Amino acid sequence: MAYKACVEGAAETAPVVATAPSGEAVVRLEQVRKSFGANLVLDGIDLSVDPGEVLVVIGPSGSGKSTLLRCVNLLEPIDEGRIFVTIAARRVGKVPKSEAVARAHELLERVGLDGKARSYPHQLSGGQQQRVAIARALMMRPHVMLFDEVTSALDPELVGEVLVVMRDLAKDGMTMLVVTHEMQFARDVGDRLIFMDDGKIVEQGQPNDVLDRPKAERTRRFLRRTLQLADSLEELTIEEGGVE
């Protein structure tokens, strides 16, 4: 049985938990606004993620991507609007140890790390630690998984092993909301891509459409910069307002 948690901005009361019909969006945001002091960070975000959909979010630093995920995760209260998230009805009670251990091994196997079941975190590489973190999240049988730049701190040769795990999760039907700079991942795995700037969704669509034929000038500028940076630093110049 799935329930839907609903948070409303500026609500005087605690988040409401209500039953929800199945088959609709796993995550839905309606006109969400969020400020930190005078800094308006989410400026009227409307968004929904369907069951099994992989939604990729890109955008410049400070555009509100992490805040968006934290709001969806119900970690940040919002000022205005509403967020609906499907949550699992959990059996509260003791899971037999043998069952928990078997499931843990199954999930470690799934991220290619059953051989490390007896290792401590400091004995694992960054990529292996990220894969364990994914296995740990799966233990809760989530309806949706949120990823915030999970590969950005990794050495380049470790990025692939984490992205492969995420790709396989997506193939298995997991609903995912992924903030990333990995454009190839966005193309290959994303069902839809959103470009955010300044707390707003500037444009969205099929990843290849947005990345190859961006409509908004702001998106074009961001992508040009990102692709140039990936290519070479040679042609970049520092101009007022940043690197162009």
Q: 39 touches which of ligand ATP, Mg ion, none (CB within 5 to 8 A by kind)?
A: ligand ATP
Look at residues 198, 205, 220 and name the one whose alpha carbon lies nearest to residue 35: 198
For ligand ATP, the binding residue among 61, 98, 232, 237 (CB under 6 A) is: 61
| Closer residue to ligand ATP (CB): 41 or 178 | 41
Main-chain dihedrals φ then ψ at residue 146, nearest 5 degrees: -110, 130
For ligand ATP, the binding residue among 47, 58, 63, 185 (CB under 6 A) is: 63
Q: 61 touches which of Mg ion, ligand ATP, none (CB within 5 to 8 A by kind)?
A: ligand ATP
What secondary structure letter does DSSP report for 123? Answer: G
Asked if residue 203 lies in contact with residue 215, where contact means CB atoms within 8 angstroms, the answer is yes
| Torsion sign (Cα): 32, 36, 38, 41 | negative
Residue ranges with strand state E in the chain: 2-8, 16-19, 27-36, 39-49, 54-58, 80-88, 144-148, 175-179, 192-197, 200-205, 238-239, 242-243
| Closer residue to Mg ion (CB): 57 or 111 | 57
Asked if residue 81 lies in contact with residue 11, where contact means CB atoms within 8 angstroms, the answer is no
Interacting span for ligand ATP (CB under 6 A) from 7-15, 63-71, 97-105, 213-221: 63-71
Q: CA 28, CA 49: separation in Å to the nearest integer?
A: 7
| Closer residue to ligand ATP (CB): 111 or 201 | 201
Q: Does 180 bind ligand ATP (CB under 6 A)?
A: no
Number of residues that bind ligand ATP (CB under 6 A): 11
| Closer residue to Mg ion (CB): 59 or 214 | 59
What secondary structure letter does DSSP report for 244? Answer: -
| Contact track, ligand ATP, 67-106, x by CB under 6 A | x---------------------------------------
| Contact track, ligand ATP, 20-49, x by CB under 6 A | ----------------x--x-x--------
Interacting span for Mg ion (CB under 5 A) from 42-50, 63-71, 105-113, 121-129: 63-71
Concatenating the DSSP letter of every residue in 98-120 gives HHHHHHHHHHHHHTT-GGGTT--
Binding site for ligand ATP (CB under 6 A): 36, 39, 41, 59, 61-67
